[in-house]
Amino acid sequence: MPKLVGKTVRVVEGGGLCIDELIGNVASKSDRVSVAMVTAAAGTSEPWLTLHSDEWINVASGKLMLEVEGKADMYVAQGETVLIETGTRFKKFFVEDTVYIPVCVPAFTPERCIRENTTNEYRAISTGLQVHHKKEEPASSQDSIETKPEVIYHMTTKAEWEEVKKSGKAYYPATYEKDGYFTHGTGVPSRLITTANNFYQDVAGDWLCLKFTRTALYNAGIHVKDEEAMPVGDKQAENQGAKWIFPHIIGGIPPHVVTKEYKMVRDGRKYVSIEGLA
């Protein structure tokens, strides 16, 4: 049975960009998928982005260039569609006045889009997106889904990780047995900051965020089970985290599957960011 579920909402206007959300968390209060219409002036660019959802971009008119870390620049012309897979770090530059349609699965949220804001215009856009998504309550649990992430992140102390790399053995967190013989992970790195402040403020020293993939774990004989947040040792998950879905690794983390290490930044006991990531 057809039903009216929302209406177009302008979520960005400024810096040469105009973004109208047609379907998504703001326009239709659904986290399943987001669809937008974006108008960009020639010469405009967006900051470096890392998405934690798959994004299809169809160029309705004009031309854009995609700069991808370690790859040759890609040009997408009128009528063409490109897929940017989750975990990809990229930057958009608009060669001509351009109109494009981005489709994200699961739906766009600021939390799933890591923006490397280097200008006041970029920061203003980021702030505006946060405001829109705070005004609109997330979709109900029946309407909201979180897909199984391919790219997975895990945090550990630098000292523990360096010791594991020297030994050549798999890494297991200190609470591995008590937690039920699995290693905690997440597909959204910004959530590690919440997790760290809930569980690890009393643990001194440097911490790292490790990046690897579900496929690499599977090829090493390690499976991943996607579940709600679970306790870490004797500490319970916070209420907010209990609503999220986390990839729990049924085993340890072999050093060879880790493709990147990020430094976690602290202000005293508090965790505030992940350098170059969130």
Segment 183-188 mean pLDDT: 90
State residue 241's pLDDT score.
42
Do 51 and 117 touch, CB atoms closer than 8 A?
A: no
Of 67-71, 204-208, 227-231, 239-243, the one with minimum mean pLDDT is 239-243
Residue 1 corresponds to which tokens in the numbers above? 């049975």
The radius of gyration of the chain's CA atoms, rounded to the nearest angstrom, is: 20
Q: What is the pLDDT of residues 266-275, one digit of tens each?
A: 988 888 898 8
In 10 A of CB 180, how many CB atoms? Answer: 11
Calpha distance 7→45 (Å, rounded) = 27
State residue 242's pLDDT score.
43
Does residue 131 register a pLDDT over 80?
no
Does residue 258 register a pLDDT over 80?
yes
Q: What is the pLDDT of residues 26-49, one digit of tens each?
A: 999 988 999 999 999 999 999 888
State residue 146's pLDDT score.
57
Q: Tell which wins on pLDDT, 12 or 119.
A: 12
Task: Say which CATH architecture domain 9-135 belongs to.
Answer: Sandwich (2.60)
Q: What pTM was estimated for this model as a whole?
A: 0.52
**Alpha-carbon 234 to chain mean position:** 28
Which ranges in the chain are annotated with CATH 3.20.170.20? 151-274
Does residue 251 register a pLDDT over 90?
yes
Tell me which residue has tokens 């050549």: 168
Closest to 136 (Cα-Cα) out of 43, 34, 221: 34
To 5 degrees, how large is the angle CA 266–CA 267–CA 271? 40
Segment 214-235 mean pLDDT: 81
Q: What percent of the chain has pLDDT over 90?
A: 50
Does residue 13 register a pLDDT over 80?
yes
Task: Say which CATH architecture domain 151-274 belongs to.
Answer: Alpha-Beta Barrel (3.20)
Does residue 79 register a pLDDT over 60?
yes
Calpha distance 154→253 (Å, rounded) = 9
State residue 108's pLDDT score.
92
Q: Tell which wins on pLDDT, 61 or 234.
A: 61
Paired strand residues for 91:
67
Of 63-77, 80-94, 226-240, the one with minimum mean pLDDT is 226-240
Does residue 105 register a pLDDT over 90?
yes
Which ranges in the chain are annotated with CATH 2.60.120.10? 9-135
State residue 80's pLDDT score.
98
